[in-house]
Amino acid sequence: MTYARILATGSALPERVVTNADLEKLVDTSDEWIRSRTGIRERRVAADGETTGDLAYRAALQALQDAGVKASELDMVVLGTTTPDIIFPATACLIQDRLGANGCMAFDVNAACSGFMYALGVANNFVRTGQVKKALVMGAETLTRMVDWSERETCVLFGDGAGAVVLEASDEPGILATCLHADGGYKDLLYNPVGVSVGFSDEKNHGVRIRMSGREVFKIAVKTLDALVDETLQAANMHADQLDWLIPHQANLRIIEATAKRLGMSMEQVIVTVDKHANTSSGSVPLALDAAVRSGRIKRGQNLLLEAFGGGFTWASAMVRY
């Protein structure tokens, strides 16, 4: 049996830190409100001219270096993002060229906050079927570019960042199972309505910005993630007590705590970066994974459950033997 094994991870964040106190100066909010409702203390915001591709490129370089893999060895470059640099070529193609991996397949996956998990699921299947031996999988966003900084309901929630993993085909267990889902029936609860085919401007609704029914998203996310973690355990033929780490999408600490409770895991076994990064959408899971690997918490041979939920709605997971 061929598995896709994670050889190494990488991540990148913009330099600029925006704290809750900074946002208090922009909108009618408070550090206390933001922390108690979401767990967020600060977020990173990309500099002018700094793109999703720039962040993903830095994360990719780090992952490739730590994996000891040359870009020219890659068979696949895939990026989960909902904030590509330009409409086309795909940001994955731009990164592929910068890395010098020219010739292999390269494409973006847009599954909103589940983008990295979708990209990982796709790459896993290419590796398992033998078509790909080495893959670079990234999740990256500059979501703050579509944030309305005068809207307190959303501007406090998001940040920019990128993460990457290098996968290699191996006889040793790596990714044990992936579960990918979507329900477009929920499209009106979390979306950004402007775009190529419908037109770029939305004057009636004051331009490009995220629309979100926060309370509804919260409730459905908790319920859906409960079912997703059960499904993932079943798909991997495992029990919750075999899990070493939960690496959840970093949108809201209360959603994370609810999922950990469902699994009977203590918060000591949960990687939390939402306090420092806020919600970086597709960047969030690989950023959290890389932070935990670099700090030495995640060790080889441990079982990791990765999951995400986002606009679409989309939701997806992976059970990984690291």
In terms of C-beta density within 10 A (0-12 exposed, 13-18 middle, 19 or more buried), how is residue 296 classed? exposed
Strand, helix or coil at 187? Answer: helix
Pattern 157-176, binding to ligand ACO, x per CB under 6 A?
x-------------------
Residue, CB closest to ligand ACO: 214
**Contact in structure between 54 and 39 (CB atoms under 8 Å):** no
In this structure, what DSSP letter does residue 145 have? G
Pattern 202-231, binding to ligand ACO, x per CB under 6 A?
----------x-xx-xx--x----------
**Contact in structure between 206 and 240 (CB atoms under 8 Å):** no
| Spatial CA neighbour of 244 closest among 319, 313, 191, 179 | 319
Q: What element of type H or E holds 182?
A: strand 175-182
Question: Which of 113, 138, 292, 320: binder of ligand ACO (CB under 6 A)?
Answer: 113
Strand, helix or coil at 98? Answer: helix
- By the rule CB under 6 A, 278 interacts with ligand ACO: no
CA atoms within 13 A on the CB side of 262: 19
Question: Which of 16, 22, 26, 33: binder of ligand ACO (CB under 6 A)?
Answer: 33
Cβ distance to ligand ACO smaller for residue 62 or 273:
273
| Spatial CA neighbour of 216 closest among 188, 194, 193, 192 | 188
- By the rule CB under 6 A, 114 interacts with ligand ACO: no
Question: Which of 279, 280, 282, 314: binder of ligand ACO (CB under 6 A)?
Answer: 279
**Contact in structure between 71 and 41 (CB atoms under 8 Å):** no
Cβ distance to ligand ACO smaller for residue 147 or 221:
221
Active site residue 249: yes
Active site residue 113: yes
Question: Which of 16, 22, 24, 29: binder of ligand ACO (CB under 6 A)?
Answer: 29
Question: Which one of 20, 110, 113, 252 is the catalytic residue?
Answer: 113
Catalytic annotation, residues:
113, 249, 279
- Judged by the rule CB under 6 A, the positions of this chain that interact with ligand ACO are 29, 33-34, 37-38, 113, 152-153, 156-157, 190, 212, 214-215, 217-218, 221, 249, 251-252, 279, 309-310
